[in-house]
């Protein structure tokens, strides 16, 4: 017999030894005692080899074979032995055949029970404890296994690190990445040469550009160009009583421009006017002496001029040279600039105007005006002295 069949009850160990001798009462002669003791020592040594130093496997990376010295004669529950793998496992369905007793599935213990070993999880020259589990009809490796993620398994299995980078979509380390990692400051990263990077900031050498957060550390970089125009609104007339603009942002824009394109009255012989508001367009100043205006221009081969120091509107066209609405009269065009809108000082307007009078004559004027009240402006309105605005368009721009 072998150590595997030894009984913990001394009187039960009377069966034949592997050498053919017997330990039964009266069956042992003095001459055979030494041989039987040597056999017992051999049995113990074989068991030690099976359970401690490990039996080197044979077979393939997916079908291992084992020949234990203890001479297991059949698969029995909890039959234990130790192996030394001769090759890394291939992974997936793996088997083991012990002493040619029959092929059994080889499993490892994971967090959710037994499973197939992953590729390379059983490593060449490593020692593993094994046991046959009757309930699962498999041989399970009971120690020296680690449960890890699929990513971890891929790293163990991959001989080529590139395969791992492909698996996780990782960027190959190179000199550019090393240079970026070495940057110690904050701000924009700029590639100044091959494999060379530096921190930079946006600056304005002559001060004509206002830059907020130039390094981009606190948020988006804001670049404000002095004098730059931003389109704020476009109003197109179609039998409109007026064209009003409330799209002011006095925290951003210091000036406002209005471009007039063929603004034509529905009623003949009228004057084009402008009014301002300081309450977002809820009401527009139109007192009898809220404004002053003046203009001069040319038309009909002669110079023209007009002014009013106490008016209810700023006249954009000359009240003595009225705007016509005939088919051959094309309305009012030009550009007006509004100053001081954000400030608590009188708002001023200046610009040039072209228009067709009610006799189909063309006139050109330089115009200017002021609202007397020392308050800000946050809305303006354009209208004719009577009737609607038949057609035309006005665009509003903010000037930084």
Tell me what pLDDT residue 70 has.
72
Q: In the beta sheet, which residues pair with residue 353?
A: 334, 365
If you ran DSSP here, which 8-state letter would residue 343 be given?
S
Round to whole Å and give the CA distance between 397 and 261.
Answer: 14
Report field, pTM of the whole predicted structure over 0.85: no
Nearest to 224, CA basis, from 193, 254, 261, 185: 254
Tell me what pLDDT residue 158 has.
46
Tell me what pLDDT residue 78 has.
78
**CATH level 3 topology of 229-399:** Jelly Rolls (2.60.120)
Lowest mean pLDDT among 42-51, 149-158, 173-182, 371-380: 149-158
Tell me what pLDDT residue 1 has.
47
36 in helix, strand or coil? helix
Round to whole Å and give the CA distance between 108 and 126.
Answer: 15
In this predicted model, what pLDDT tens digit does every residue of 21-37 receive, in sequence order? 565 566 555 556 666 66
Cβ neighbours, 10 Å, residue 226: 12
pLDDT band at 387 (very low <50, low <70, confident <90, very high): very high
In this predicted model, what pLDDT tens digit does every residue of 256-293 receive, in sequence order? 999 999 999 999 999 999 999 999 999 999 999 999 99
Cβ neighbours, 10 Å, residue 381: 20
On average, the pLDDT of the chain sits at 86
Please name the helix (run of DSSP H) or strand (run of DSSP E) that holds residue 351, with its range, or none.
strand 348-356
Ranked by mean pLDDT, which of 65-79, 214-228, 242-256 comes out on top?
Answer: 242-256
Do residues 338 and 345 lie in contact, with contact meaning Cβ atoms separated by under 8 Å?
no
Residue in this structure with the two tokens 């088997």, named with its chain if needed: 95
Phi, psi of 181 (to 5 degrees): -60, -25
Lowest mean pLDDT among 105-114, 294-303, 365-374: 105-114
Q: Residue 307 above 60 pLDDT? A: yes
| Burial degree of 309 (CB within 10 A; 0-12, 13-18, 19+) | exposed
Cβ neighbours, 10 Å, residue 43: 22
H helical segments located in the chain: 33-48, 150-157, 161-167, 175-181
- Work out whether strand 314-315 and strand 379-384 pair parallel, antiparallel, or are unpaired: unpaired
Tell me what pLDDT residue 24 has.
59
Lowest mean pLDDT among 79-93, 123-137, 190-204, 210-224: 210-224
pLDDT band at 344 (very low <50, low <70, confident <90, very high): very high
252: left (phi over 0), alpha (psi -120 to 50) or beta: alpha
Domain boundaries, the chain: 3-52, 54-150, 175-225, 229-399
| Burial degree of 55 (CB within 10 A; 0-12, 13-18, 19+) | buried
In whole angstroms, how far apart are CA 176 and each of 14, 53, 343? 79, 51, 52
- Helix, strand, coil percentages in the chain from 3-state DSSP, rounded to 5: 15, 40, 45
Do residues 367 and 293 lie in contact, with contact meaning Cβ atoms separated by under 8 Å?
yes
Q: Residue 164 above 70 pLDDT? A: no
Q: What's 212-257 look like in SS3?
A: ECCCCCCCCCEEEECCCEEEEEEEECCCECCEEECCCCCCCCCEEE
In this predicted model, what pLDDT tens digit does every residue of 85-112 receive, in sequence order? 999 999 999 999 999 999 999 999 877 7
């Amino acid at each position: 017999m072998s150590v595997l069949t030894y009984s913990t009850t001394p009187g039960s160990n009377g069966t034949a030894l592997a050498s053919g001798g017997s330990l039964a009462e009266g069956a042992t002669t003095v001459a055979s005692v030494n041989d039987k003791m040597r056999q017992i020592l051999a049995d113990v040594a074989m068991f030690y080899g099976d359970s401690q130093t490990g039996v080197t496997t044979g077979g393939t990376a997916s079908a291992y074979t084992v020949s234990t010295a203890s001479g297991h004669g059949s698969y029995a529950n909890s039959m234990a032995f130790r192996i030394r793998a001769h090759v890394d496992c291939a992974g997936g369905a793996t088997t083991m055949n012990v002493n040619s007793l029959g092929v059994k599935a080889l499993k490892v213990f994971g967090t959710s029970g037994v499973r197939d070993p992953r590729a390379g999880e059983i490593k060449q020259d490593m020692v593993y404890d094994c046991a046959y589990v009757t309930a699962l009809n498999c041989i399970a490796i009971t120690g020296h296994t680690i449960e890890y993620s699929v990513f971890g398994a891929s790293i163990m299995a991959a001989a080529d690190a590139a395969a791992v980078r492909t698996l996780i979509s990782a960027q190959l380390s190179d000199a550019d990445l090393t240079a970026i990692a070495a940057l110690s400051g904050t701000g924009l990263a700029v590639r100044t040469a091959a494999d060379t990077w530096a921190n930079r900031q946006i600056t304005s050498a002559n001060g004509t550009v206002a830059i907020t957060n130039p390094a981009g550390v606190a948020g988006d970089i804001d670049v404000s160009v002095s004098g730059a125009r931003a389109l704020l609104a476009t109003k197109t007339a179609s039998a409109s009583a007026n064209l009003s603009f409330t799209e002011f942002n006095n925290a951003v824009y210091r000036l406002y421009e209005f471009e007039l394109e063929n603004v034509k009255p529905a009623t003949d012989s009228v004057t084009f006017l402008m009014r301002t508001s300081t309450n977002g367009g809820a009401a527009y100043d139109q007192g009898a002496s809220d404004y002053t205006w003046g203009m001069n221009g040319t038309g009909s081969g002669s110079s023209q001029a007009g002014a009013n120091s106490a008016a209810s509107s700023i006249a954009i066209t000359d009240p003595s040279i009225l705007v016509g609405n005939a088919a051959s009269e094309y309305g009012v065009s030009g550009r007006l600039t509004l100053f001081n809108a954000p400030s608590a000082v009188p708002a001023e307007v200046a610009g040039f105007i072209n228009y067709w009078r009610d006799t189909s004559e063309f006139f050109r004027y330089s115009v200017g005006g002021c609202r007397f009240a020392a308050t800000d402006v946050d809305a303006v309105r354009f209208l004719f002295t009577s009737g609607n605005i038949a057609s035309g368009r006005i665009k509003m721009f903010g000037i930084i």
